[in-house]
Each structure stands twice: as structure tokens, then as C-alpha cells.
């Protein structure tokens, strides 16, 4: 015999269902009142700011550990990337100047050699 085949029928389970629905409605109403208040918003804001601070602290701690192990960390890679970008920009300017100087030279015949 299963729970659905109860000899007492549905009338024995109905009071428990009614009680459960009443408790669920009361809990929903109470939770809604709690969440809609200002203190809950303040608590949520403080929690978010604390989480952001912990994330920042953990990132800095990991970078410090990597630096102590003499491995490149995120800050080192960022600095290296910016140095590489500056070097590439300088090289591009040098190449443009070389092209400008080459364009300013008079045309040479194929038999002439470069140099003094």
C-alpha cells in the first residue's frame, strides 16, 4: 500500500496541505517586507563592497606571491605589454622615416650601386 492509497483518503492530508500553504504565504509576505526595506539594501551594499575589497586583496596577494617566487605577475605582464606597444610605435615611426627618405632619393639606374 502506497501513500496515495491511504485508507484514510485525502481528508487526512488536507489539513497538512492547508497548514503548509498558510505557512508558505506568511513566509513569502515576511520575506517581501524584509527585502523591500532600506536596511536590507544597506546590508546588500556593504556585502558587495566587502566582496569587492576581498577580491582586490586576494589579487594583490597572488601578485605578491608570484613576485616573491620571481615569476611574472599580472602587473608585470601589463607593464611589459605597454613597453612593447611603445617600442612597436617607435619602430613604426622609424620605418615611416626610412620610407620618406627613400622616396626623396633620386631614381637610380639598375647598374648603379649604393654606397660611396
pLDDT of residue 13: 81
pLDDT of residue 99: 94
Q: Mark residue 52 as left, alpha or beta (left: phi above 0; alpha: psi -120 to 50; beta: remaining).
A: alpha
- C-beta of residue 40 within 8 angstroms of C-beta of residue 34: yes
Stretch 9-15: mean pLDDT: 75
pLDDT of residue 34: 84
Looking at 1-116, list the stretches that DSSP marks H as alpha helix, in order from N- to C-terminal side.
14-36, 38-68, 74-104
The whole-model pTM stands at 0.46
Between 106 and 60, the more confident residue is 60
- C-beta of residue 73 within 8 angstroms of C-beta of residue 67: yes
Taking 60 as the threshold, does the pLDDT of residue 104 lie above it? yes
pLDDT of residue 72: 84
DSSP 3-state of 13:
coil
CB neighbourhood size of 78 (10 A): 10
Of the pLDDT bands very low, low, confident and very high (cuts 50, 70, 90), residue 110 is low
Stretch 44-62: mean pLDDT: 95
Least confident window among 2-6, 38-42, 78-82: 2-6
pLDDT tens, residue by residue, 79-99: 999 999 999 999 999 999 999
Q: Where in the chain are the domains?
A: 37-71, 74-102
Amino acid at each position: 500500500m502506497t501513500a496515495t492509497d491511504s485508507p484514510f483518503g485525502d481528508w487526512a492530508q488536507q489539513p497538512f496541505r492547508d497548514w503548509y500553504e498558510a505557512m508558505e504565504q506568511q513566509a513569502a509576505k515576511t520575506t517581501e517586507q524584509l527585502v523591500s526595506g532600506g536596511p536590507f539594501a544597506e546590508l546588500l551594499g556593504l556585502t558587495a563592497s566587502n566582496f569587492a575589497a576581498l577580491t582586490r586583496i586576494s589579487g594583490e596577494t597572488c601578485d605578491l606571491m608570484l613576485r616573491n617566487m620571481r615569476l611574472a605577475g599580472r602587473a608585470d605582464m601589463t607593464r611589459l605589454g605597454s613597453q612593447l606597444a611603445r617600442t612597436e610605435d617607435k619602430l613604426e615611426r622609424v620605418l615611416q622615416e626610412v620610407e620618406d627618405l627613400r622616396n626623396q632619393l633620386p631614381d637610380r639606374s639598375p647598374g648603379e650601386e649604393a654606397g660611396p
